[in-house]
């Protein structure tokens, strides 16, 4: 896998993990301040990580589209697909 693909998967995984943490903290909320702060920080972290994940995903999609377009333009589409399958 390419590094940007790994970064995309890791960032979305961290986002999902923080959302799950926020949901768990909210579910077991006993009304204490510590729980509320934990829930809020997990939710803010999930929002920030989600934004980062979104930016990385868009960059990944644009990068793949540009690479594919250049390969087609220069007649390297067959070589690109072979290299892609070898890397994965």
Greater pLDDT, 21 or 30? 21
Q: In terms of pTM, does the model score above 0.95? A: no
Greater pLDDT, 58 or 68? 58
**Measured between alpha carbons, how far is residue 3 from residues 45, 51, 52, 81 in Å?**
23, 19, 15, 17
pLDDT at 86: 54
Mean of the per-residue pLDDT values for the chain? 83
> How many domains is the chain partitioned into structurally?
1
Query: Taking residues 80-88, what's their average pLDDT?
Result: 54
d(CA 10, CA 12): 6
Task: Tell me which residue range forms the domain holding 72.
Answer: 3-87
d(CA 45, CA 73): 42
pLDDT at 83: 53
């Amino acid at each position: 896998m390419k590094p940007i693909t790994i970064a995309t998967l890791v960032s979305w995984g961290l986002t999902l993990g923080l959302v799950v943490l926020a949901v768990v903290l909210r579910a077991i909320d006993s009304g204490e301040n510590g729980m509320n702060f934990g829930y809020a920080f997990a939710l803010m972290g999930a929002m920030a990580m989600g934004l980062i994940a979104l930016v990385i995903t868009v960059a990944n999609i644009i990068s793949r589209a540009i690479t594919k377009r250049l390969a087609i333009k220069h007649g390297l589409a067959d070589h690109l697909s072979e290299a892609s399958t070898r890397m994965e």
